[in-house]
Amino acid sequence: MMLDQAIRDKEKQIKEAKQAVMSCIATEKQAKALLDKEKLEQSNWEAKAETALKAGREDLALKALGRAGEHEKKALEMEPRCQEQRTQIESLKQDIRRIEDELAEFKRNRDFIIAQSKASEVKKQIYQAKAKMANKHSADDLMARMQAKAERSSHEADAAAEMAADSGDSLENEFADLGESSADQTANDKLAALKAKLGN
């Protein structure tokens, strides 16, 4: 499902971002440790300069102050970079929190989104079923029209036969009718003879 894939993508994005932040934090901590070391060395050499000056060794105090200055310079160079790294780390952390909030919202709404998707699918199936029913009605209408056409053809055939019987030479038709009447009379004569024979 696309929603599950989106959640997996978000989780992967968060994991990768956290790994990047952890790497940045490690680098920042290392730089901060070096910065603190430079500041400590500066303080130590300044203290040594003070000790040398108290001992009347101005030359030695001057050298110690020179060494302290070197460490101070390094510390001043490193401090802005450490601050920049810290700012970037905080920005990355905010991005991670934002993505985590989005992921949490995805998961909270997951069931609702799935329900919406299923409802849409059911609606689609209903429309498809209605379309099939409409096609069935069309087939029924076609069948009814074909049946009506067949009945019409049958009636037309009967009408043609009736017209054929009424058409032709009228005189011939009259003789044909006369023949049928004679046949009927012969049958009646035979019936009367049979009755006389049986004594009826």
pLDDT digits over 132-174, tens only? 666 555 556 666 777 777 777 776 777 666 665 555 555 555 5
User: DSSP letter string over 86-100?
Assistant: HHHHHHHHHHHHHHH
Q: What angle do CA 110, 114, 118 make, to 5 degrees?
A: 175
Does the pTM of the predicted model rise above 0.85? no
Amino acid at 120: S
Tokens standing for residue 182: 């004679």
Across the range 169-192, mean pLDDT stands at 60
Q: What is the per-residue pLDDT for 110? A: 76
More confident residue, 200 or 51: 51
Please state, in angstroms and rounded to a whole number, the distance separating the CA atoms of residues 88 and 100. Answer: 18
pLDDT single digits (tens) 39-97: 999 999 999 999 999 999 999 999 999 999 999 999 999 999 889 988 988 988 898 89
* Confidence label for 196 from pLDDT (cuts 50, 70 and 90): confident
- Amino acid 34 reads L
Q: From residue 39, how far is each of 28, 61, 69, 123, 156 by CA, in Å?
A: 16, 18, 10, 72, 119
pLDDT digit string, tens, across residues 90-132: 988 898 898 888 888 888 877 777 777 777 777 777 777 776 6
pLDDT band per the 50, 70, 90 thresholds, residue 197 = confident
Q: Which of 42, 30, 40 is nearest to 82 (CA)?
A: 30
Distances (CA, A) of 114 to 8, 19, 118, 124, 126: 16, 32, 6, 15, 18
Is residue 73 within 8 Å of residue 42, measured between CB atoms? no
Return the percent helix, strand and coil in the chain, to nearest 5.
95, 0, 5
